[in-house]
């Protein structure tokens, strides 16, 4: 099989990307898991570093600063890992807020409560029910 520029391969024989499609969900998920694990990998060494720093300098303030820096790491890792790639301009918007908006101040054209026609109450029948006790 001939590999050349006319078939979509570069000089090293790798295929050239010819689409503007986003990476697949699996690739995105793998990248997000890698980011999460990278950030979380700093937490355990930070705790060990705090213990070593306390052992070397006997200064609790340095150890507390290292621990305080490692406290928000899980929160940051989750936020960064759950982040999706930015929306492209071509991607359609799926929520139309204008048509579902409830008016803050009702007007005559858009009343807050709609009127419902209720049936007239039934009149009592001349036959009364007896429960058998007198």
What letters, b where the CB count within 10 A reaches 16 and e where it falls short, cover 75-113? eebeeebeeeeeeeeeeeeeeeeeeeeeeeeeeeeeeee
3-state class (DSSP) for residue 114 = coil
Mean pLDDT, the chain, whole residue set: 78
Please give the full DSSP string across 45-96, using - where no structure is assigned: HHHHHHHHHHHHH--HHHHHHHHHHHTTHHHHHHHHHHPPPPPPTTSPP---
Place 24 in a pLDDT band, splitting at 50, 70 and 90: confident
For residues 115, 116, 117 and 123, what is the CA-based torsion angle, rounded to 10 degrees?
A: -120
pTM: 0.51
% of the chain with per-residue pLDDT over 70: 63
pLDDT at 4: 46
- Note the Cα 71 to chain centre separation in Å: 22
- Higher-pLDDT residue of 83 and 4 is 83
pLDDT at 5: 47
Place 51 in a pLDDT band, splitting at 50, 70 and 90: very high
pLDDT at 7: 63
Cα(91)–Cα(21) distance, rounded to whole angstroms? 11
Average pLDDT of the segment spanning 84-99:
70
Q: Domain locations in the chain?
A: 25-82
pLDDT at 9: 76
Instruction: Report the candidate in 22, 21, 3 with the shortest Cα–Cα distance to residue 11.
Output: 3
Which residues neighbour 79 within 8 Å (Cβ) at sequence distance 6 or greater? none
57-89 confidence digits (pLDDT tens): 999 999 999 999 999 999 999 998 888 777 777
Average pLDDT of the segment spanning 122-131:
61
């Amino acid at each position: 099989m001939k590999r050349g520029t006319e078939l979509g391969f570069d000089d090293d024989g790798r295929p050239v990307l010819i689409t503007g499609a986003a990476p697949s969900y699996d690739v995105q998920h793998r990248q997000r898991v890698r980011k999460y694990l990278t950030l979380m990998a700093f937490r355990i060494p930070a705790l060990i570093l705090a213990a070593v720093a306390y052992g070397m300098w006997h200064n609790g303030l340095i150890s507390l600063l290292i621990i305080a820096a490692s406290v928000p790491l899980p929160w940051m890792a989750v936020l960064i890992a759950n982040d999706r790639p930015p929306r492209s301009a071509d991607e359609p918007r799926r929520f139309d807020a204008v048509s579902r908006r409830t008016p803050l101040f009702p007007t005559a054209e858009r009343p807050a409560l709609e009127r419902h026609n209720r049936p007239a109450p039934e009149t009592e029948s001349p036959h009364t029910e007896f429960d058998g006790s007198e």
